[in-house]
């Protein structure tokens, strides 16, 4: 089942190219909370109302998606956790320890929204196409064997990144407002299938960039959930992004159109705007791709200069705003 928020926070079931308003079905328990919290509340109630939602989806009455405005399905997740270095990049190297960073929930935007590049003096801004997990139950120190039973569903995520900035990773380079496109809806786990064997693709202006399978993950979805829950309790509506395969990464810049597509979920498009009109060489960043493979075998490998902290121009990013 595809569950979405539209037109200011109305919950709906997506069927084909239409969306069915389910606000009457979910009732005051969901509609009585702010729009930003409705999907997390729906996730808690889903086991009890899934049959009613399925019946509504079969009724075949709805509005064309072209006539509504979809929002991020979880506009403000309580936690937005992003896996780091979680792909083998096609290299048969040693499996690395799990790692994650917290990305600000305020970075989240939805389908059709705009990624706004800030005046931060980054050396380049990159896209990272990722599969995102949305939690459906409270999970604390769960095992990998039981972890997937705590999942509400899956959606697309693009981790926009500013390279070479001075501050700590996960904040100045990742948590910038609009740097977390999420959507276009959640496909519930009972219909999604195996999260460790789906194809993830991303294009910019219609030209292919990233194209990989989640089977290349070093830590599968269940292990990511188990590890995260061993550190912090996961709540319904929390989002875990599985990381990216860096082969195919490239820059994003003013007037670009980014489209991410994940098998079993669908497609989502966002735009890019840069008031400063900066530009970088278009296409895949082959230097970064080669480095990511090289460091899988040699962790001490030196990254390209522009990815070193502070390499952008040696300035504090906040100085560009002052």
Angle made by CA atoms 252, 255, 80, in degrees to the nearest 5 = 50
The length of the chain is: 322
Q: What is the secondary structure of 67-97 as a DSSP string?
A: GS-B--SSSS-S-EEEESS-B-TT---PPPP
* Cβ pair 90, 292 in contact under 8 A: no
pLDDT 10s per residue in the chain (322 long)? Answer: 999 999 999 999 999 999 999 999 999 999 999 999 999 999 999 999 999 999 988 876 799 999 999 999 999 999 999 999 999 999 988 888 999 999 999 999 999 999 999 998 899 999 999 999 999 999 999 999 999 999 999 999 999 999 988 665 678 899 999 999 999 999 999 999 999 999 999 999 999 999 999 999 999 999 999 999 999 999 999 999 999 999 999 999 999 999 999 999 999 999 999 999 999 999 999 999 999 999 888 888 888 876 765 555 544 433 333 2
Encoded tokens for 316: 């504090």
Peptide linkage before 184 cis (omega within 30 of 0) = yes
* Cβ pair 103, 175 in contact under 8 A: yes
* Cβ pair 215, 197 in contact under 8 A: yes
In the prediction, which pLDDT does 322 show? 27
* Cβ pair 91, 39 in contact under 8 A: no
Q: Name the 3-class secondary structure at 320.
A: helix
The span from the CA of 86 to the CA of 148, in Å, is 18
The span from the CA of 94 to the CA of 72, in Å, is 36
Q: What is the secondary structure of 225-241 as a DSSP string?
A: HHHHHTTS-B-TT-EEE
Q: Does domain 80-320 have CATH number 2.40.110.10?
A: no
The span from the CA of 137 to the CA of 124, in Å, is 38
Encoded tokens for 282: 């278009």
Write down the domain spans for the chain. 2-67, 80-320
């Amino acid at each position: 089942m595809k569950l979405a928020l539209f037109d200011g926070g109305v919950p709906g079931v997506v069927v084909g190219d239409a969306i069915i308003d389910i606000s009457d079905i979910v009732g005051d328990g969901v509609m009585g909370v702010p729009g930003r919290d409705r999907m997390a509340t729906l996730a808690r109630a889903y086991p009890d109302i899934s049959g009613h939602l399925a019946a509504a989806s079969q009724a075949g009455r709805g509005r064309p998606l072209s006539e509504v405005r979809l929002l991020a399905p979880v506009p403000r997740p309580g936690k937005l956790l992003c896996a780091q270095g979680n792909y083998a990049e096609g290299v048969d190297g040693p499996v690395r320890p799990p790692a994650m960073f917290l990305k600000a929930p305020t970075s989240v935007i939805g389908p059709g929204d705009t990624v706004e590049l800030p005046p931060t003096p980054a050396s380049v801004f990159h896209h990272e196409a990722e599969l995102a997990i949305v939690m459906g139950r409270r999970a604390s120190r769960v095992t990998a064997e039981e972890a997937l039973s705590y999942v509400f569903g899956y959606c697309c995520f693009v981790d926009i990144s500013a390279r070479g900035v001075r501050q700590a990773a996960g904040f100045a380079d990742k948590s910038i407002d609009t740097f977390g496109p999420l959507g276009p809806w959640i496909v519930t786990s009972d219909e999604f299938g195996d999260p460790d064997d789906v194809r993830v693709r991303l294009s910019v202006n219609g030209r292919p960039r990233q194209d990989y399978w989640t089977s290349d993950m070093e830590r599968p979805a269940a292990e990511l959930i188990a590890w995260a829950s061993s550190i912090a309790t996961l709540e319904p509506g929390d989002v875990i992004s599985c990381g990216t395969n860096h082969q195919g990464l490239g820059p994003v810049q003013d007037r670009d159109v980014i489209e991410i597509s994940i098998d079993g979920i669908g497609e989502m498009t966002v735009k890019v705007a840069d008031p400063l009109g900066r530009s970088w060489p278009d296409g895949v960043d082959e230097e970064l791709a080669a480095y990511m493979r090289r460091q899988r075998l040699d962790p001490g490998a030196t990254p390209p200069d522009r990815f070193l902290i502070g390499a952008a121009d040696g300035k504090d990013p906040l100085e560009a705003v002052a």
